[in-house]
Amino acid sequence: MVKKSILYIFIYTLLVGCDVERLIGIDCTTFIGNDYLNVSAPDLQMDENGYYHIEWLEGYIQTFSTLNADTQADDGTLKVTWSSDSGIYYMWDWISSVNSSSYTGSDGIAHTVLAVWEEQIGDTITVYAQLMSFTEGLGEDCQEEYRDSIKVVVDNEIQN
């Protein structure tokens, strides 16, 4: 019984104390494979500086557009988190200009909605996307983080 306990302790120490890659010869990039993240606004026009433009729709509370995060992942579902440097306070709560997370579909693209308010006319909003890619069971040794961002100008062609 004591010999078995010592053997278990030895194996546990070996497994915990060694780097996963060195221990079993795993190359994390073989498993992750999602070294790509590209954010775009396919329904908005881009100017010569790479800024997208959304036209404020007069008479509405908000104006919306869909944003894409292409991961080029063709297998599995990946979670993309979104944030922006702009939003509004509504009833003492901060409301971001984008939804906070979405998942990729079979095409490897995640979608979110950009919502702008009249108070943001003339502002340039930066939207950030982040993809955490990891291989389950291999721990933090096989975790990668990818980020991308775009800038969106809120325009109002109808000036009062």
Q: What is the pLDDT of residue 32?
A: 45
Query: How does pLDDT run across 75-130, given as a tens digit for each residue?
Result: 778 899 999 999 998 899 999 999 999 999 889 999 999 999 999 999 999 999 99
| Tokens standing for residue 90 | 């509504």
Q: What is the pLDDT of residue 77?
A: 82
Which residue type sits at 60?
Answer: Y
pLDDT band of 145, cuts 50, 70, 90: confident
DSSP string, the chain: -HHHHHHHHHHHHHHHHS-HHHHHT--HHHHH-----EEE-TTSEE-TTS-EEEE--TTSSEEEEEEEEE----SS--EEEEEES-EEEETTEEEESB-SEEE--TTSEEEEEEEEEGGGTT-EEEEEEEEEEE-TTSGGGGEEEEEEEEEEEEE-SS--
CA distance 42 to 152: 12
Residues linked to residue 115 through DSSP beta bridges, in sequence order: 64
Q: Provide mean pLDDT across the span 5-25.
A: 48
Of the two residues 134 and 58, the one the predictor is more confident about is 58
CB under 8 Å to 88, separation ≥6 — which residues?
A: 94, 95, 117, 119, 120
CB under 8 Å to 123, separation ≥6 — which residues?
A: 86, 153, 154
Q: Write down the architecture of domain 28-155 according to CATH.
A: Sandwich (2.60)
Of the two residues 72 and 148, the one the predictor is more confident about is 148
Judge whether 154 and 114 are in contact, CB under 8 Å: no
Q: What is the pLDDT of residue 141?
A: 56
Whether 31 shows a pLDDT value over 60: the answer reads no
Judge whether 117 and 127 are in contact, CB under 8 Å: no
Boundaries of every domain in the chain: 28-155
Query: How does pLDDT run across 51-90, given as a tens digit for each residue?
Result: 999 999 999 999 999 999 998 887 778 899 999 999 998 8
